[in-house]
Amino acid sequence: MTINWQQLFAERTARMQASDIREILKVIAQPDIISLAGGLPAPELFPVDHFRRAFEWVWETNGQAALQYSITEGYPPLRQFLAARMARTFGIRTTAEEILITNGSQQGLDLLGKIFLDPGDKVALERPSYLGAIQAFDQYQAEYAIVPMDEDGMQTEALEELLQRETRVKLIYAVPNFQNPSGRTMSLERRQHLVRLSAKFGVPVVEDDPYGELRYEGEPLPSLKSLDTAGSVIYLGTFSKILAPGFRLGWVVASGAAYEQLVLAKQPTDLQTATASQMAFYEVCKDGFVDQHVERIKEVYGERRLTMLRAMQTYFPEGVRWSNAQGGLFFWVMLPEHIDARELLVDAIKEKVAFVAGQAFHADGSGRNTMRLNFSNATPEKLEEAIKRLGRTIERRVGVTNVVRG
């Protein structure tokens, strides 16, 4: 008898779909394409030598422990280092005992879905929001309570109305700094309001912060976690954008019962994050290297951001708008209403440029005329060329003459 696999799969698999981003990563593997698609760091900045030396140190000094199973919570010296660094960098008061090391912050999102969401429970999230979070929550058959955004981030007044009306909101998910995909940053007033709402309604906020350190303009704003006096903010951090994503190392900051439940949820998933890589990351970080490295990344990405901004001002036709991304890795572009970014992408790939169409970041299926452009991965010369080609492609779709703007 042949097996009917589809019939056997659990209900929760129904919404598991290939993401636009992972699909596009296949297209951009072609060497002549300039990709503005992934959220990929610049590979030439990866501190390969530091990792080589760190692993040598691990093998020479601690090889047996590095190859052994270890505790689910994570390597204690790395957790102590992170607690001290978060206090210094983000004003977050925490301890190693509140930090759980994960396989990237993506695993943190999955574990949060696992411990909080029953089918039909709601997650309040920004429109647009991070695709990987939507995918993680989709697995647990979540529904979404969509909160609109503007240039000051999530509109917390709309969230308040929503929390008054909706009874099944279990989590509020927010990316307050240089959000993926929109590049937007939440204002201080809204951060304070959001933290107050979380405490008032008893709904935890998940603060996902992979880009917080990558600010190229303007003044830093306090993290939600640092404003949290009620203990209702769960913070997700990651090494992916400040050191390297390949090892898949991130962390969750949570306290009390939430922390304990996360540890219990991680055990059946993978028992623990790899011992050797946690030790090597600690070795790379412990003497202040990561701070210098972040400064170097900011210099390089800051320049790329400016190159992209100037190129968009020069080559994009009238009627195309973009967010004011003061940091992070992305510009968010709003095309004239009648343009479908997925159709534009087909044309763009013929011109050897790739980006991600914005619809995938909208849990309600809206955002057809939006697209996300990454500026961290390609060199300034390639970025300029890519925007030039994209400008031509948009112009053809818009059917208007290019007006070169200053």
Over the window 168 to 187, marking each residue x when it contacts ligand PLP by CB under 6 A and - when it does not, the resulting string is -------x----x-------
For ligand PLP, how many residues bind (rule: CB under 6 A)? 14
Q: How far is the CB of 372 from ligand PLP (least distance, A)?
A: 10
Q: Of 43-51, 103-111, 215-223, 306-314, which part binds ligand PLP (CB under 6 A)?
A: 103-111
Distance CA 154, CA 109 (A): 19
Q: How far is the CB of 314 from ligand PLP (least distance, A)?
A: 28
246: amino acid identity, one letter = G
Distance CA 216, CA 89 (A): 15
Kindly tell me which residue out of 105, 185, 275, 307 binds ligand PLP, with binding defined by CB under 6 A.
Answer: 105
Q: Is 210 in the site for ligand PLP (CB under 6 A)?
A: yes
- Residue that is written with structure tokens 């943190």 in the block: 108
Kindly tell me which residue out of 238, 272, 275, 278 binds ligand PLP, with binding defined by CB under 6 A.
Answer: 238
Q: How far is the CB of 295 from ligand PLP (least distance, A)?
A: 21
Residue-wise burial string across 81-90, b where 16 or more C-beta atoms lie within 10 A, e elsewhere: bbbebbeebb
Going edge to edge, which strands form the sheet with 321-322?
Answer: 321-322, 330-334, 370-374, 356-357
Q: Is 39 in the site for ligand PLP (CB under 6 A)?
A: yes
Helices (H), 96-218: 104-116, 131-138, 156-165, 188-201
Point out the residue whose Cβ comes nearest to ligand PLP.
104
Q: Is 232 in the site for ligand PLP (CB under 6 A)?
A: no
**Over the Cα atoms of the chain, what is R_g?**
21
Distance CA 154, CA 62 (A): 46
Q: Is 358 in the site for ligand PLP (CB under 6 A)?
A: no
Question: What are the beta bridge partners of residue 373?
Answer: 331
DSSP type of residue 177? S
Our CB check for ligand PLP shows the closer of 223 and 238 to be 238
Kindly tell me which residue out of 35, 106, 155, 326 binds ligand PLP, with binding defined by CB under 6 A.
Answer: 106
Distance CA 296, CA 357 (A): 30
Q: Is 104 in the site for ligand PLP (CB under 6 A)?
A: yes
Q: How far is the CB of 233 from ligand PLP (least distance, A)?
A: 15
Distance CA 278, CA 68 (A): 12
DSSP type of residue 124? E
Over the window 245 to 274, marking each residue x when it contacts ligand PLP by CB under 6 A and - when it does not, the resulting string is x----x------------------------
Helix 275-285 / helix 48-66 crossing angle, nearest 10 deg: 130
Our CB check for ligand PLP shows the closer of 203 and 249 to be 249
Our CB check for ligand PLP shows the closer of 203 and 356 to be 356
Q: In this structure, what are the phi and psi dihedrals at residue 16, rounded to the nearest 5 degrees?
A: -85, 110
| Touching ligand PLP, residues 110-129 (CB under 6 A) | none
Q: Is 163 in the site for ligand PLP (CB under 6 A)?
A: no
Contacts of 80 (CB under 8 A, 6+ apart): 96
Q: Is 130 in the site for ligand PLP (CB under 6 A)?
A: yes
User: Is it true that the peptide bond before 181 is cis, omega within 30 degrees of 0?
Assistant: yes
Our CB check for ligand PLP shows the closer of 40 and 199 to be 40
Residues lying near ligand PLP in the complex (CB under 6 A): 39, 104-106, 130, 132, 175, 180, 208, 210, 238, 240, 245, 250
